[in-house]
Chain A
Amino acid sequence: MKILVTFKSVPENGAAEANTRVINPFDAIAVEEALRLRERGEAAEVAAVTIGEPAVEEQCRAALAMGADRCIRIDDARPLDPYAVARILKAVVDRESPGMVLMGKQAVDDDCGQTGQMLAGLLGWPQATFASRIALAAGRETAECTRETDAGLEVIEVRLPAVFTADLRLNEPRYVSLPGLVKARKKPIEVLTCAQLGVDARPRTALLAVAAPPQRAGGAVVASVDELVLKLREEAKVI
């Protein structure tokens, strides 16, 4: 089985002012899970895919250094929205025919948390979002998956092929090692365009403005528990 794992290059901590870019942390977890499945003999190949400008090849190298077998970069510098990304990824899935697609549950810069579910919808495949455990059944026709929901942990079984989105506790991603980096230099990064894939993925959302959120008024230090209780009761009137 081939696993397709998606990753987005994001500013560190999703912060607009950060000047270091990294693999979206949830995508690093997805890559790790794919590698572990391959290492357990459940998958034969891990292909990593990203959509972005040439500069994101640094994160392509990082994914390869972690252990992905090859990388595909869809060359696109437009500000895309999740639905555009999902349509492009759909074309990549059609081309690659993976048995599983592993993704992050959200990109920490835009915090949309949509792309995996959209891709699953476009493909007509089952989805297992917010996954904290993925266990393939013998024969690899289904996978049992634990999901982190607001109401607690839920277990579902999905038929493969399916789309999975990783939550924080799925695993702890490995660090990129020096030998890994050296090896990564020899691994292929295939560059494709939307035109080559035959997809028209014009974004349907437009960012019109960004503003700072209302700032919280600076706080006061209280000297004792008694003073805190008094303030909460008399001043803030919350207890």
Chain B
Amino acid sequence: MGRTLILMELDGRRVKRSSLHAVGFARRLGGDYVLLVIGHHLAEAATSLVGYGAETVLTADDPALAEPLADRYAQVVVEAARASRADVIVAAASTFSKDILPRAAALLDAAMLTDVVGLEPRDGQTVFNRPINAGSRIATVALEGPVRVLTVRASAFPVPDQAPAESPMGRLAVEADALPAGTRFVSRQQRTSTRPDLGEARVVVAGGRPLKDAATFEKLIGGLADVLGAAVGSTRAAVDAGMASNDLQIGQTGRVIAADLYIAAGISGSIQHLAGVKDCRVIVAINKDPEAPLVKAATYSLIGDLFQAVPELTEALKKRT
């Protein structure tokens, strides 16, 4: 049995919940696993991870790693993989892991799979399932090599239960001067919203092109989301029109969600959008067109004008609570 190195992702000083789903993947794969946290001031994050049955919780803590710059982080991942003799390297799929892991894979002379949603034994080896063609087909793929690198879809693997035994902590020595210096962090536009993150929300409310402008979008979609404690999402059309910020785009080329409840108002359901919402348990479409693809894919559809239906739904749900 081999060893998996799991790259954890941080949200400030905390570990993102999606990263724990990657631990669920490692458990299914078998063998033991090492959790790697890269950054600066990592005590809180590392401590939160000791109950997940890892061989080691490994930290690479240095001021030079305060921001997730791919060239530096990829080098640290490579050093951690070598130090821990991992033959599989994995992380939950996100813009963070998709920036870093392919680069680390190339440095390790390894091929890689993106967005793995399943695994199965075949002819004595483990092969992997992943969506292709905008989610319209699921491929079964073999990945060869002494080192294999993957990102996995968080929603496809459960967060494991915590174990009573505590994993030991380890530190990976970081030589700041030996890190690549070709990239400099300049700034980040801090997200100010207090709403849940799209990738982790149980309920998501999204709006599309007919929402007109940012204020209307916020009033209707934001208003409905808030009575449900939901995350807000949107389509490419709404983002391009400036109604919603870029990180709210759901779909093949944006965020993939797997909410219990997804409510889509004024969204046609293009192949690209559908690719990001197929795994939601219950889908509600509010659309004036009964022929819209999202109406066909939805669990429940309300055919009508969203400018009427959305405020009405918001009010009805307010009364409920």
- Tell me the complex Cα distance, A211–B197, Å: 31
Are B136's CB and A15's CB within 8 A? yes
Are B102's CB and A159's CB within 8 A? no
Q: Which residues of A contact B138 (CB under 8 A)?
A: 210-213
Q: Which residues of B contact A154 (CB under 8 A)?
A: 185, 187-189
User: Is B172's beta carbon under 8 Å from chain A?
Assistant: no
Q: Which residues of A contact B183 (CB under 8 A)?
A: 126-128, 156-159
* A106-B253, A117-B70, A238-B203 as given contacts; A209 in contact with B140, CB under 8 Å: yes
* A150-B199, A153-B189, A208-B140 as given contacts; A218 in contact with B296, CB under 8 Å: yes
B308 CB, min distance to chain A CBs, angstroms: 9
A31 CB, min distance to chain B CBs, angstroms: 17
Are A126's CB and B136's CB within 8 A? no
Are B142's CB and A220's CB within 8 A? no
Q: How large is the interface on A (under 10, 10 to 19, 20 to 34, 35 or more residues)?
A: 35 or more
User: Is B76's beta carbon under 8 Å from chain A?
Assistant: no
Name the one of A84, A120, A151, A236 contacting B299, with C-beta atoms under 8 angstroms: A236
Are A117's CB and B295's CB within 8 A? no
User: Is A232's beta carbon under 8 Å from chain B?
Assistant: yes
Stretch touching chain B among A1-9, A52-60, A175-183, A223-231: A223-231
Are A81's CB and B299's CB within 8 A? no
Are B253's CB and A108's CB within 8 A? yes
User: Is A19's beta carbon under 8 Å from chain B?
Assistant: no
User: Is B37's beta carbon under 8 Å from chain A?
Assistant: no
The 10 closest A-B pairs by CB, nearest first: A121-B106, A204-B111, A117-B102, A126-B182, A114-B102, A118-B106, A121-B103, A155-B186, A238-B261, A159-B182
30 A-B pairs with CB atoms under 8 Å apart are: A83-B106, A84-B111, A117-B102, A120-B71, A120-B106, A127-B71, A127-B103, A130-B95, A132-B246, A149-B247, A150-B198, A151-B191, A152-B188, A153-B188, A153-B246, A154-B185, A155-B186, A156-B183, A156-B186, A158-B183, A158-B184, A204-B111, A205-B113, A212-B138, A216-B297, A219-B299, A221-B290, A229-B320, A236-B281, A238-B260
Chain B interface residues (CB < 8 Å from chain A): 11, 69-71, 74, 94-96, 98-107, 110-115, 122, 127, 131-145, 180, 182-191, 197-199, 203, 228, 236, 239-240, 245-247, 252-253, 255, 260-261, 271-272, 278, 281-285, 290, 295-303, 309, 312-313, 316-317, 320
Given A147-B95, A154-B187, A216-B278, 12 additional A-B pairs, CB 8 A: A117-B106, A120-B71, A121-B74, A124-B180, A127-B71, A151-B247, A152-B190, A168-B240, A207-B141, A232-B261, A236-B281, A238-B261
